[in-house]
Structure formats: structure tokens, C-alpha cells
A and B are shown apart, each in its own frame.
Chain A
């Protein structure tokens, strides 16, 4: 009965209640949408990094992790790869030689990481082959040794298509080796730092320069059916290849996990701040309600409505009012998430800035269902907090004063 009374009381002053409902709905929608965007950007960034750079799982010689010197090699790599590919949940795998090096043209030089890859194999594991903006990904046969570099590096070194680049690196025997490459392809990912720091050549060419054997590699990159499988698969691989070091993307880039957790917390804090701001609006409205209904509350207390019931009645009115706003806000948010989670939002106009930070210009916002549940709980807590002050005010009314006819 009190619930019914509270509910109907909300609609006594429709305009005022609708203003509060609207404010809550807009506040929640805004907060949820921003959180969704942040989540979407983070997930995108993680995806991009996994797709182009780190893969789901990597295997190295254990010492290579400490000191990425190419002398720490995986031997019998072809056989190892066959074994790996026969494991469940693994879709693709590829191996590479890898070293830090100096890439220079006639005018400039830059420190880079050079990958010696087998193009056909690499294509299936990493997305770089899809990011070629000029030339190709080792598809045309060339007389000279071929190199694929990022657009940013190309600008930095003034290395256009067909230009020569000298790569200097330390060979396995400890001596500096240098070899000459010609630019056959330029790629552009949405991470300009990556484009600046990484170059690709054929494995046979890098191996020859550094003294690595054809059946040796520094790194095996593995793709699993989904990102979530990576950790478990990595664990099972580790037990099979105990002399090597197997890492899932979570261990390779713990910063991704840190970032995801941070985004999660950011979302909650954002909602708390928004709700904190809304609390004042709700308190103000409820204080007006109490002032307007002084006589009525006095009458209720006179005829025998006790304090817990008065408290409960006002708290329910506040909570229901807030929950109506929350329900509308959540409905709009879920709608927006469904829509934009499907179509994506194009940030092409700001893309340059975003790409510099490693974000993609297309963002697919999302929030977890847990987030909606917690937001709802936060709204209820907000409403309870917001009703404390108005209720205290109501309970202080002196029924004898309140009912005196003036």
C-alpha cells in the first residue's frame, strides 16, 4: 500500500518528476556511452596489437626474453611448428627470426626491430600484409633483397618505393653485419609508433646476414580460435615444450590487461561522479516535495503513521523516481550500444590523433551486462542517500503544528 502511495505521489507534479527522470536518463546514457566508447577503443587497441604484432601466443628461447639477442634460437623449428599446429584450438602459426638493427639511407638512420619472415606463413598470422599502402608484401620477385617498412619510417628516412636501405645488426658470431635491401612495400597500421619501429624482410635474407640456420628461428607466433583461449593453450603448450618459453598475449603485454582493468574502473568512477552530481538534484526535488506536503505529512503522522513508515514512503518515492530515470537511461544506452556496437562509430576526422595513440578510427562501443547491473545498484544507493536528508526533514515535522489550519 505504501509502495502504491509512493508511486502515485511521483506523478503528482509531473513536470518536476519528469525533469528529474530526464536528468537521470541523460546522465546515465552519457556515462554509459562514454564508458562503452572507452571499452570499445581499448578492445580495439588490444585486438590490433594482437593481430599485427604479438599474436595470441609467442614461443621463444627462454633467454631471448631477457636479452633479445638473435643468438637465442629455437632449433628444429619446422618440426616444432608441425607439432604445435596439430594442437587443439590453434588455428595458425608461423616462425621468424628477429633482431634489433639500424636501418639507414644515404641521409638518415633509425633504430628498428627487423623481422625475418616467411611471407606465405606470416600472412596467416599477422595483419601487416593487409596494411600495405604502396607496393606489395613480397609478392613480386626481385633481384635485390626486399624490405617492407612502415610509412612513418619511410618518411623519416626519406625512403620511397625502390629506394635502398642498409640494415646493420650484430650477427651471431658477435660481429656487425650489414646488408642492402630495396623497399618493395610500405605499410600503414593505425599505430604510427609501430610503423616507425618495425621492418620486415624475408627470413632467408636476414638469416644469411646474421648466420641463422633455415631450421632455426627466434620466435614462433601462434593464433588461437579466440583471445580468451590463449592463456589455457599457452599453458598446455608450455608443458609440452618445457625447454622453451611459452607466453600468451596477457603475459607478453601485461599493459593491455592493466589498460582494460583501468578502463573498467574508469567506467565505474565516471558513473559514480555523474550520480553524485545527480544526488543534489534529487535531494532538491525531494525537499520541495516535503515542503509542499507538510500538512499532509502532519496528517499522516497524526493519524498514526510511524517514523519508519514515513521514512520508507519517502525513500520509496525517491527510489522509484530514480529508477524510472535509470530504466529509461538504460534502455536508451542498450539501444545505442546495440546499434553502434554493430555499425561502429567512425572517427575519421580525428583519426590522425587517435592513430598516433594506437587506436583505430573505427570504434565499436560496448559495456558488459555486469556494468548495467552495477549501474542499477548504484542508482538505488544514490536514491537511498538522496532520501536521507528530505526524510529527516519530514520526520522533524511537528504534527500538531503541521495540521493547524491556517
Chain B
């Protein structure tokens, strides 16, 4: 079953002045349980594509449907709500609220979703156990390494039980050890929880972990390979 179906997607910036065709005609299906990397040279449109999939940006043309819901149908308020319940995000930086503890950060989205305190507690413990940061439960993000912070961000996204998790260059600020730790974690959660991950990267070693590799160039898919 496809979680994401993209048809004839276009995104043009600066339509009035010098138009930049950041995404230029993309058709793409992503199935439940995929572990997919989007790669390509800088400026090829990875972030633009992912932002549109995540409902953060509107396409100029074309449609995206998530689990059968067309994103174009939503007004901005509806879209925020849709994101809250259906899409997990891990950004390159600024994922965590510095004034909240690790535990509070992980349960933040669940609380926005209106989950009960009990459910939150249980899920947070589960997640922290899973990412191996149970002992940091009551620490603030600034007491954690960059790699640990990204793991907490992954745990937060996963805790809210989205349809899939979008991670735009999640390892860009990490050293190689933290990078491979984070990828191992994501891979494990992908297998254990059957969570769909879509991430972008420049890093050869990260690409190697992906089971499907989509290569973009000038806003178009030039290669789409699924490895066993």
C-alpha cells in the first residue's frame, strides 16, 4: 500500500521575476515500511520536495496524497492539524526545545495530539529505552551531544505515531560515529516498528544504508533504485 502518492509535482520559486524550477515534474510512490533516501547535488530540490511532502510548502502544480488524503484540499489550519497527526519530522537542527527536558521534548507532540498523561509516560519510557537515553530523561538538550539530540528528535517523531517520518539531512551536523549510530537507530526502528523513513543526505555512507535511493537532478528524478 502506498503511504505517499505524488503526481506531476512542480514547484517554481520567484514566479514573477527569474523563475527557479526547484521541483520540475516528479511522480513518485512511497510504500508503507520503506527506508528511502533522497539524494542529489546541492540545489537539486531535495528540501523543496520534502517540504511539500510534509505539507510545509505548497506545490505550484501537481498533487500529493498521503494515505489517500490530498494535501491540496487543506486550508492552512487543517494542514497543521494533518501534520500533527500524520507526519513526523526530524530537521537538521533546532529540533528540540531547549527549555524542556528530554522527556518533555519526547512527549511534546503527543501532548499536542491530546494524548493522556498515562499514555505519554508509557510511550516516552518505551522510546527512551529504545534510543538508549533513559538515563538522560531529565536532562536538558544542551547537556546532550549532537548525536544524542538527533536521537531524541527521532524518538519524538516516532512517539507520536505518524504515517511516516521525514528527515531532511538529519546527519549533516554530526560526526561519522554519531551519523552511523543515528542511521542504525533509524533502521532498527524502521524494522521493529515498521515505520516509513524518508531522509535526504549528501553522505555516501548514509546512502548505503537506504533500501531505496532516489536521485534528483534539477528538480527531476534521474535514478530510482531499490536495493534488496
CB < 8 Å neighbour of B91 from A12, A299, A307: A299
- Chain B: interface residue count, which band? 20 to 34
Q: Which residue, of B56, B81, B169, B172, has the highest number of chain A Cβ atoms within 10 A?
A: B56
Answer whether residue B20 sits at the interface, using C-beta atoms and an 8 A cutoff. no
Q: For the complex, what is the distance from the CA of A405 to the CA of B46, rounded to whole Å?
A: 13
Q: Across the interface, which residues of A come within 8 angstroms of B94, CB to CB?
A: 295-296, 298-299, 403
Cβ-defined contact, A295 with B93, below 8 A: yes
The reply to whether A301 and B80 contact each other, CB–CB distance below 8 Å, is yes
Q: Which residues of chain B come closer than 8 Å to A405, judged between CB atoms? A: 91-93, 168-169, 172
B176-201 CB contacts (< 8 Å) to partner A: none
B100 at the interface (CB under 8 A from A): yes
Q: Is the CB of A8 within 8 A of B100?
A: yes
Q: A303 touches which one: B77, B84, B92, B104 (CB < 8 A)?
A: B84
B35: A residues at CB distance < 8 A: none
A300, closest chain B residue (CB): B97
A305 interface residue, CB < 8 Å from B?
yes
Encode contact with A along B68-80: 1 for CB under 8 Å, 0 otherwise: 0000000001001
Interface status of A1 (Cβ within 8 A of chain B): yes
Tell me if A5 is interfacial: C-beta within 8 Å of chain B. Answer: yes
| Interface-central residue, B47, B54, B80, B111, by most chain A CB under 10 Å | B80
Question: B80's closest neighbor in chain A, by CB?
Answer: A306
Q: Are A399 and B92 in contact (CB under 8 A)?
A: no
- Decide yes or no whether B144 CB sits under 8 A from chain A: no
Whether a CB of chain B sits under 8 angstroms from the CB of A404 is yes
Chain A stretch 283-307: residues in CB contact (< 8 A) with chain B: 295-296, 298-307
Q: Contact check: which of B56, B77, B84 meets A399 at CB < 8 Å?
A: B56
A400 within 8 A of B: yes
**Is A309 located at the chain interface by the 8 A CB criterion?**
yes
Residues of chain A with a CB closer than 8 A to B172's CB = 405
Question: Considering the chains assembled together, what is the distance between the CA atoms of A9 and B104 in angstroms?
Answer: 14
* A17 shortest CB reach to chain B, Å: 13
Q: A8-B100, A12-B98, A295-B94 are in contact. Are A304 and B81 (CB under 8 A)?
A: yes
Closest-by-CB residue of B relative to A296 is: B94
State whether A302 and B98 are in contact (beta carbons under 8 Å apart), knowing that A307-B77, A405-B172 are contacts in the complex: no
Taking CB atoms and an 8 Å cut-off, the chain B residues in 50-96 that contact chain A are: 51, 54, 56-57, 77, 80-81, 83-85, 89, 91-95
Using known A-B contacts A1-B111, A295-B93, A296-B94, determine if residue A305 contacts B100 with beta carbons closer than 8 Å. Answer: no
Q: When the two chains form their complex, are residues B111 and A404 in contact, meaning their CB atoms are under 8 A apart? A: no
- Cα distance A305–B84 in the bound complex, in angstroms: 7
B residues near A298, Cβ cutoff 8 Å: 94
A403: chain B residues at CB < 8 Å are: 56, 91, 94
Complex-state Cα separation, A302 to B94, whole angstroms: 12
Q: Which of B51, B80, B100 contacts A400 (CB 8 A)?
A: B51
Query: Nearest A residue to B157 by beta-carbon distance?
Result: A303
Query: CA–CA, A5 to B169, complex, Å?
Result: 28
Which listed residue (B80, B93, B169) contacts A305, Cβ 8 A? B80
10 A-B pairs whose Cβ atoms sit less than 8 Å apart in the complex? A8-B100, A298-B94, A300-B97, A302-B83, A303-B108, A303-B109, A304-B81, A306-B81, A405-B91, A405-B93
On B, residues with C-beta under 8 Å from A are: 47, 51, 54, 56-57, 77, 80-81, 83-85, 89, 91-95, 97-100, 104, 108-109, 111-113, 157, 168-169, 172
Other A-B contacts than A303-B157, A306-B81, A400-B51, 8 sampled, CB-CB below 8 A, are A302-B91, A303-B83, A303-B84, A303-B89, A303-B109, A305-B80, A400-B56, A405-B93
